[in-house]
Amino acid sequence: MLIDPHKATLLAVDIQEKLIGAMSDPEGTRARARWLLAASAELELPIVISEQYPKGLGHTLPELIAAAPAAEVVEKSHFSCVAAQCLPASLMAREHVIVCGMETHVCVLQTVLGLLGLGKQVFVVEDACDSRTAANRAAGFARMRQAGAHIVTREMVLFELMGSASHPRFRHISKTYMVGDQP
């Protein structure tokens, strides 16, 4: 199944100031998430950003907010965005949810399992998710895959959102996000 841009939303889970430093690849996660959010925003994909207990864990990284200034930011205290009931109606109305964030084996996993339970088609962006350890990250992906989530990459997402080289933003997206050293 391909991602349908008319049915999709991007959900960035808990990429926050006080959590990023504990990840296995903090700088790579930061750069790849910014890349995905910026490209998705340029393609006018609706974007939702969750924050886990921001009073204690800080807010979303400022460069991510800058990359997707129209994104809706929601707060939660449950690990799962679904259990927290914080997801906006605009996201819940769409069939396809593209998910990135941290930690892969906790908040991302529980959110993905909740979305699958609601009948959503979920696409987890492997190269824009992270955990404190590689083992936890791998276990999170294995469980999501086993539950029926589609594991994808950032480039897969962009090419599926555009559909073809005739997309009006294809040339710009290709020159901006697909050439040179990418995160």
Interatomic CA distance for residues 165 and 151, integer angstroms: 23
Mean per-residue pLDDT, 31-45:
98
Cα 48 from chain centre: 9
The CATH architecture assigned to 8-177 reads 3-Layer(aba) Sandwich (3.40)
pLDDT in tens, 80-117: 999 999 999 999 999 999 999 999 999 999 999 999 99
Mean per-residue pLDDT, 19-26:
97
Residues 6 or more apart whose CB falls under 8 angstroms from that of 27 comprise none
Interatomic CA distance for residues 142 and 145, integer angstroms: 5
> Cα dihedral angle (153, 155, 157, 163), rounded to 10 degrees?
-150
Overall pTM surpassing 0.95 (yes/no)? yes
Share of the chain above pLDDT 70, in %: 100
Could you tell me the CA-to-CA distances from 71 to 1, 42, 46, 78, 181 in Å, in that order? Answer: 26, 12, 7, 21, 26
pLDDT at 33: 98
pLDDT in tens, 1-16: 999 999 999 999 999 9
Q: Which of 14, 81, 86, 130 is catalytic?
A: 14
Q: Closest by alpha carbon to 51, among 95, 19, 96?
A: 19
In the predicted model, is pLDDT for residue 166 greater than 90? Answer: yes
Domain locations in the chain? 8-177
107 has catalytic annotation: yes
pLDDT at 118: 98
Share of the chain above pLDDT 90, in %: 97
76 has catalytic annotation: yes
How many Cβ atoms sit within 10 Å of the Cβ of residue 142?
12
Confidence of residue 179 (pLDDT cuts 50, 70, 90): confident
Q: Which of 81, 86, 107, 129 is catalytic?
A: 107
3-state secondary structure of 96: strand
Residue appearing with tokens 């903090």: 26
pLDDT at 102: 98
In the predicted model, is pLDDT for residue 133 greater than 90? Answer: yes
Mean per-residue pLDDT, 167-175:
95
Beta bridge partner(s), residue 98: 10, 123
pLDDT in tens, 134-163: 999 999 999 999 999 999 999 999 999 999
Confidence of residue 181 (pLDDT cuts 50, 70, 90): confident
Confidence of residue 164 (pLDDT cuts 50, 70, 90): very high
